[in-house]
Amino acid sequence: MSNSKKASKNSSAGKLSEDQIKANFTEMHPPLAASQAYIEACRCYFCYEAPCTTACPTGIDIPEFIKRIQTGNTKGSARKILEQNIMGGMCARVCPTEVLCEEACVRNTHESKPVAIGLLQRYATDEVIEKKVPLFERIAPTDKKIAIVGAGPAGMSCAHRLAACGHNVTVFDKNEKAGGLNEYGIAAYKALNDIAQKEVDYILSIGGIEIKPGVELGVDFTLDKLREEYDAVFMAIGLPGINRFKIEGEAVEGVIDAVEYIHDLRQAELMSKLPVGDKVVVIGGGMTAIDIAVQSKKLGASEVTIVYRRDKANMKASEHEQQYAQVNDVKLRYCSSPKTVLSKGGHVTGIEFNVTEVAHDGSISETGRTYQLEADVIFKAIGQTLPDDALGESAGGLTIESGRMAVNDDRKTSLDNVWAGGDCVSGGEDLTVSAVQDGKLAAQSIHEYLQNI
C-alpha cells in the first residue's frame, strides 16, 4: 500500500482544486530573463582564486561561467558548468547555495547581497538541457564494461563521465524511472516541468549508457555476479531504508514516512487526488522535514508544525530553509522529542513530546516536562539508512563505517573492483551536488584503473 493511501482514513483528498494546487506549486525562484541575467552577471567581481568556486563541492569555475553569460556566450557558459557538474541544471534548483557558493561570495556583506549564482547557473543550463544541445563527445568506444547500481545523481554522473571516456556503462535501478531522488524525492516546487527526466535524457544523449530499470540488487542480481561480468562496479544506491521512531504507539494509521509520501506526490498525475491531513505534525530537522511541511501546506493542510528535538542553531535545515517554511505558514517548535503517539480506534489523534535541553556539546537531555499536539497526520522525517540487507548476500567484503560503505578519497571501497558514492557512503554531505561529485571522482578513478587491466 502506498503511503498516501495509508493516510487515507486520517486525511482527505480534494482540499484544494488542481488549479489552486498548481498555483501553489509554482517556481520557488522564477528563472531570470536574459536582461536580468546580464545585470546580475555584471555584479560579479570575477575574483582571482574565487571563494565561490572553492565552496562549490563540484569545483565549477563560477567567475568564468558568469563572464560567459555577460559576454552573451550562454552555450559556453553551460559547458563550463556541465563539464564539472553534469547535473548542473538540477543543482541550480536544489543546492543550498546560501551555505555554499553564495555564502562564500565576496559580495555577501551586510550592505550587499551575494551574486545570484544559482539563478545564473540555471539561466546558462536550461536551454542546453531542454534542447539537448550536444556539448560533450564520446571518444572511440573501448571494450571495457562498467556496472552501476543506482540511477540517482551519483550513478548518472559516474555513467556520463565513463561513457565520455568511451566505456560501456550499464545502470541498474529498482525504480521504473532513472534520476533517484531527483525524480522521487526533491520537493515538487523545486523540480517543475519534468526537469529530472530531461536531465537524465541529456545525460543519456552522449551514448554508451544503457539503463536497466525495475531490477534490484539482492533480489534480481548479486554484487558477486556484477564483479564477475563487468570490469568495474560503482555502487550508488543511496539510502533505501527508513529510520523508525522507536516510540510507543508508532504503528497506527496516519503515521507516515515523509520520503515515501513525497515519492507518491512527485509521481501523482493529479495532486488534488492525494489525501492531505488537516493538522499535520512533522518530526525532523533536515531538508526532508522542511519539504514535507511546506508541501503539505501547499496541498491544503490547515495547520502544519515541524517539531525538532534540538534547538534552532543545531537544526540541519539552514536558516534560509527554516525561514522558507515560516513564510509558507509552517510553525517550527524546537527542543521537543517525540514520546508517545496518541490514537483512537487505530488512527492517530496527536502526539506527546518530552521537552529537551541542549548542552554546549550538542547532547540533549529531557527536562521532565511534556506537552501534546493534536494531529491527524504525523510525518516522520528523521533520516534514511542503509539497511543490512540492502547490499545483498555477496557484499561480505565491503567495509561498513557508521552504517554506510567506507571509501577512500577516490571513492574506492574495500573490494577490488568496486567503487561507491553518494548518500550510501560514509562521511558525505547528503546533498545532490556531493553525490554528483562522488560519481565524477569514482569515474576518474575507474578510468585510470581500466587503463591498467
Contact footprint for ligand SF4 (CB under 6 A) = 44-47, 50-52, 62-63, 105-107, 115, 117
Say how many residues make up the chain: 453
Instruction: Name the binder of 233 from ligand SF4, ligand FAD, none, CB < 5-8 A by kind.
Output: none
Q: How far is CA 371 from the centre of its chain?
A: 33
- Helix H segments across 138-213? 153-164, 181-184, 195-204
Nearer to ligand FAD, 174 or 320 (CB): 174
Site string for ligand FAD, 289-328 (x = CB under 6 A): --x-------------------------------------
Q: Does 264 bind ligand FAD (CB under 6 A)?
A: no
Distance between CA 30 and CA 162 in Å, rounded? 34
Identify which range of 105-113, 185-193, 300-308, 412-420 contacts ligand FAD by CB under 6 A.
Answer: 185-193
Q: Are strands 168-173 and 209-213 parallel, antiparallel or unpaired?
A: parallel
C-alpha cell at 386: 542503509
Distance between CA 263 and CA 284 in Å, rounded? 18
Alpha-carbon distance values, 352 to 249, 251, 336, 374, 379 (Å):
11, 15, 9, 9, 14
**Paired residues of 307 in beta bridges:** 283, 333
Q: How far is the CB of 97 from ligand FAD (least distance, A)?
A: 10
Q: Could you say which residues in the range 90-119 bind ligand FAD, by CB under 6 A? A: 94-95
Closest CA to 198 of 181, 184, 176, 179: 179
Site string for ligand FAD, 135-164 (x = CB under 6 A): --------------xxxxxxx---------
**Paired residues of 419 in beta bridges:** 234, 412
Q: Which helix (H) or strand (E) holds 235?
A: strand 232-235
Closest CA to 405 of 424, 422, 388: 424
Nearer to ligand FAD, 90 or 342 (CB): 90
Nearer to ligand FAD, 287 or 342 (CB): 287
Nearer to ligand FAD, 224 or 352 (CB): 224
Nearer to ligand FAD, 124 or 386 (CB): 386
Distance between CA 82 and CA 134 in Å, rounded? 11
Q: Could you say which residues in the range 266-295 bind ligand FAD, by CB under 6 A? A: 287-288, 291
Nearer to ligand SF4, 118 or 392 (CB): 118
370 within 8 A of 352, measured Cβ to Cβ: yes
Q: Does 422 bind ligand FAD (CB under 6 A)?
A: yes
Instruction: Name the binder of 107 from ligand FAD, ligand SF4, none, CB < 5-8 A by kind.
Output: ligand SF4
Q: How far is the CB of 317 from ligand FAD (least distance, A)?
A: 10
Identify which range of 74-82, 183-191, 227-235, 412-420 contacts ligand FAD by CB under 6 A.
Answer: 183-191
Q: How far is the CB of 61 from ligand SF4 (least distance, A)?
A: 9
Distance between CA 440 and CA 447 in Å, rounded? 11
Cα atoms in the Cβ-side hemisphere of radius 13 Å centred on 295? 28
Instruction: Name the binder of 236 from ligand SF4, ligand FAD, none, CB < 5-8 A by kind.
Output: ligand FAD
DSSP code, position 31:
P
Closest CA to 402 of 431, 381, 416, 423: 423
Q: Does 395 bind ligand FAD (CB under 6 A)?
A: no
Instruction: Note the residues at the interface with ligand FAD (CB under 6 A).
Output: 94-95, 149-155, 172-175, 180-181, 185-186, 190, 216-218, 236-238, 240, 259, 262, 287-288, 291, 390, 422-424, 430-433, 435
